[in-house]
Structure 1
Amino acid sequence: MQGAFEPTEQQKDEAALWHARRAGGSLSAEQEYEFEQWLNADRNNRLAFDQMRVIWARIEEPARRLSETRRKPALSGFLSWFRPRRSFAALAGMVFVAGAVFFLHPDFIDNIQADIVTGQSNVTAIALPDGSVVRLAANSALSTDFDKGHREIQLLRGQAFFEVVHRNGDPFRVRTGDATVQVVGTRFNVDRLSQQTVVVVEDGAVRVSSGLNENGVLLGPGQQVVVNDGTLSPSEIGDVGLALSWMKGRLSVHNMPVSELTARLENFDAGRIVVIGDVGTRSISGSFPTTDIPGSLETVADAIGAKVVRTSPWLTVIY
């Protein structure tokens, strides 16, 4: 049985929406009156709203501090928590801060493993030791191994376009998730922005394999393969340029879930983008500029009948 002063899940959802609307300063006088009516209709409504304010304050404050100060080394601050006589409350506080850091910086683990991590620039071109060139999208991460004749890349996250030079037949390998791409000399794109990997070939040929299909499939120009849970699904694509549109400052998608599109757009924004409710399951098609994320999110919201509120420089909500 629901406690006398314990908000229901519906009340919590409603509180989240009201907080997002009020934080964005988008309420009209009529809506402000509606909010007051809702707030006073049930004591648990007010409790749910107060809880929501506390939650967002705790989430946004670490983000503000991280963005405004670099005065103390992170590691020394973290280790200071392990001094003797620290209370359980202090340990709980450390756990909360760690959780906030992972909420605000979910790519933390990838970045530790990476040799190269890109910021919010649309395209970062990097010359590799063998003379090949990789162009990385915003918020991408990769590690490299060019020791002892190896030519291997681990794409940990993001999108990468490779221009591979031929070198005495030595293979060039790109690994990501459960997919391995092997080439000698070619131009191809690897997309690792979700749980699946998509490889698109612009020129030359590549062989893509996985743990469940070691022989893999051979791709030529204008072909792609989707690798998901070890399964390879090759196909022809009508326009390679659409898959490579990110290098020109746009994301072109077809029938993509809004949650996945916003996750991709988030790579080009300084803050988090949170989708509330069933909005994330709706599909959308179009071409969205990565140089104007607020404008792209407004376009997405208009197309699916949703609303977008930027509660702070570190958090945008679509509902």
Structure 2
Amino acid sequence: MQAAFEPTDQQKDEAALWHTRRAGGSLSAAQEDEFENWLNSDRNNRLAFDQMRVLWAQIEDPARRLSTNRPKMSLSRFRSWSPSHRSFAAMAGMAAIVGGIFFLQPDIIGNIQADIVTDHTTVTPIELPDGSVVQLAANSALATDFANGHRDVELLRGQAFFDVVHRNGDPFRVHTGDATIRVVGTRFNVDYLSHQTIVVVEDGAVRVSSNRDADGVLLGPGQQVAVRGDALATSKIEDVNLALTWMKGRLSVRNMRVADLMTRLENYSDGKIVVVGKIAGRSISGSFPTTDIAGSLETVADAIGASVVKTSPWLTVIY
């Protein structure tokens, strides 16, 4: 049973929409009146809106300070921030700053583990020690292991296209959090975004396995597999080139969830992109430039009847 003063999910969604509109400064006088009426019509509406304001402040204030100051803290200074030397309030403040770091740089752990990290705008060609070539998408991270005859790479984040050279039958392996891709010599794309791994083969053959299915599936040209957790779902695609348009500065998609498209566009953005409400689950098709994220967001919004508000340099909301 719901507590007497506990907003429903619908009230939370409505509060998020009202906060977004007000933050963007785009409300007319009539809309301000509508907002006041909504706020006063139900105590839980006001509670939901207050909760949203607190949440937004917790996210944006640390991010704003970090973006301006970019503080660096040595290990010795970090250790000095112990409960015996600082008040609980100070520790809470430090937690907020750490939260801000992960809001601005959620990929910081992956970057530490990686050998190669790309920026938010550049597709980077990389020749690996065995002569294979990888095109690494913007905001992607790759770790490599070519010691002792190994040919192993780990895509920690992002997207990559591999052109693998044949070498005496030695396998070349690509690892993600979900999958292992084993090849001898071939050309294929690996997309490790949206909480799953998607592999598309342009030429040759690859075997893709999940963490619990060591045999996996064998893919040929024009085939793809999506790996989420332990599940592998294979399919044939009409146009392999559609999956490779990111190398030419565009994202071309067919019937993709808006939330998944936003994840990909965020990869090319300096800030977070948040989708609010039911539009996250809607499908969209089109081709969107990665060199003009603001323009791409407006195009998406026009296509699905949504609105875009940039609440700060670090956060854009589409609703």
TM-score (norm 1): 0.89
What is aligned with 2:180?
180
What is aligned with 1:108?
108
Task: Number of aligned residue pairs: give it.
Answer: 317
Question: Offset at 1:243?
Answer: 0.7
What is aligned with 1:219?
219
Separation of aligned partners in 2, 1:279 and 1:26: 20
Separation of aligned partners in 1, 2:61 and 2:77: 17
Q: Does 1:28 align with 2:33?
A: no
Question: Offset at 1:70?
Answer: 3.5
Residue identity opposite 1:249 in structure 2: G
What is aligned with 1:210?
210
Q: Does 1:119 align with 2:119?
A: yes
Which secondary structure does the structure 2 equivalent of 1:234 belong to?
A: strand
Question: Offset at 1:33?
Answer: 3.3
Aligned identity (percent) is 73
What is aligned with 1:141?
141
Question: Offset at 1:247?
Answer: 0.7
The alpha-carbon distance between structure 1 residues 217 and 42, as it changes in their structure 2 partners (threshold 3 A), is closer
What is aligned with 1:318?
318
Contact 1:62/1:100 (CA < 8 Å) preserved in 2?
Answer: yes
Question: Offset at 1:286?
Answer: 1.6
What is aligned with 1:152?
152
Contact 1:143/1:153 (CA < 8 Å) preserved in 2?
Answer: yes
Residue identity opposite 1:291 in structure 2: T
Contact 1:252/1:286 (CA < 8 Å) preserved in 2?
Answer: yes
Which secondary structure does the structure 1 equivalent of 2:216 belong to?
A: strand
What is aligned with 2:200?
200
Which secondary structure does the structure 1 equivalent of 2:109 belong to?
A: helix
Question: Offset at 1:252?
Answer: 1.5
User: After superposition, where does 1:23-172 map in structure 2 within 5 Å?
Assistant: 23-39=23-39, 45=45, 48-70=48-70, 72-73=72-73, 75=75, 78-82=78-82, 84-172=84-172
Question: Offset at 1:71?
Answer: 5.1
Separation of aligned partners in 1, 2:277 and 2:12: 12
What is aligned with 1:2?
4
Contact 2:62/2:99 (CA < 8 Å) preserved in 1?
Answer: no
Contact 1:161/1:189 (CA < 8 Å) preserved in 2?
Answer: yes
Residue identity opposite 1:29 in structure 2: A
Greater mean alpha carbon deviation, residues 73-82 or residues 133-142? 73-82
Greater mean alpha carbon deviation, residues 50-59 or residues 134-143? 50-59
Where structure 1 has 5 or more consecutive residues not aligned to the other structure, the ranges are: none
Contact 2:66/2:100 (CA < 8 Å) preserved in 1?
Answer: no
Deviations 1:89-141, CA, capped at 9 Å, x for gaps: 32333333333333333323322222222221241122212222111112211
Separation of aligned partners in 1, 2:77 and 2:56: 23
Residue identity opposite 1:2 in structure 2: A
Contact 1:122/1:290 (CA < 8 Å) preserved in 2?
Answer: no
Residue identity opposite 2:17 in structure 1: L
Separation of aligned partners in 1, 2:51 and 2:233: 46
Separation of aligned partners in 2, 1:45 and 1:183: 56
What is aligned with 2:240?
240
Question: Offset at 1:10?
Answer: 4.8
Greater mean alpha carbon deviation, residues 298-307 or residues 266-275? 298-307
Contact 1:117/1:142 (CA < 8 Å) preserved in 2?
Answer: yes
| RMSD of equivalent CA atoms | 2.4
User: After superposition, where does 1:230-309 map in structure 2 within 5 Å?
Assistant: 230-309=230-309
Separation of aligned partners in 2, 1:266 and 1:77: 33
Question: Offset at 1:9?
Answer: 5.4
The alpha-carbon distance between structure 1 residues 268 and 86, as it changes in their structure 2 partners (threshold 3 A), is same
Contact 2:179/2:208 (CA < 8 Å) preserved in 1?
Answer: yes
Which secondary structure does the structure 1 equivalent of 2:185 belong to?
A: coil
Residue identity opposite 2:4 in structure 1: Q
Question: Offset at 1:39?
Answer: 4.4
The alpha-carbon distance between structure 1 residues 65 and 95, as it changes in their structure 2 partners (threshold 3 A), is closer
Question: Offset at 1:268?
Answer: 0.7
Question: Offset at 1:199?
Answer: 1.1
The alpha-carbon distance between structure 1 residues 254 and 134, as it changes in their structure 2 partners (threshold 3 A), is same
Greater mean alpha carbon deviation, residues 181-190 or residues 61-70? 61-70
Separation of aligned partners in 2, 1:15 and 1:77: 40
Separation of aligned partners in 1, 2:187 and 2:101: 37
The alpha-carbon distance between structure 1 residues 87 and 238, as it changes in their structure 2 partners (threshold 3 A), is same
Residue identity opposite 1:214 in structure 2: A
Residue identity opposite 2:69 in structure 1: T
Question: Offset at 1:258?
Answer: 1.2
Greater mean alpha carbon deviation, residues 195-204 or residues 74-83? 74-83
The alpha-carbon distance between structure 1 residues 153 and 15, as it changes in their structure 2 partners (threshold 3 A), is same
Where structure 2 has 5 or more consecutive residues not aligned to the other structure, the ranges are: none
Question: Offset at 1:65?
Answer: 2.5
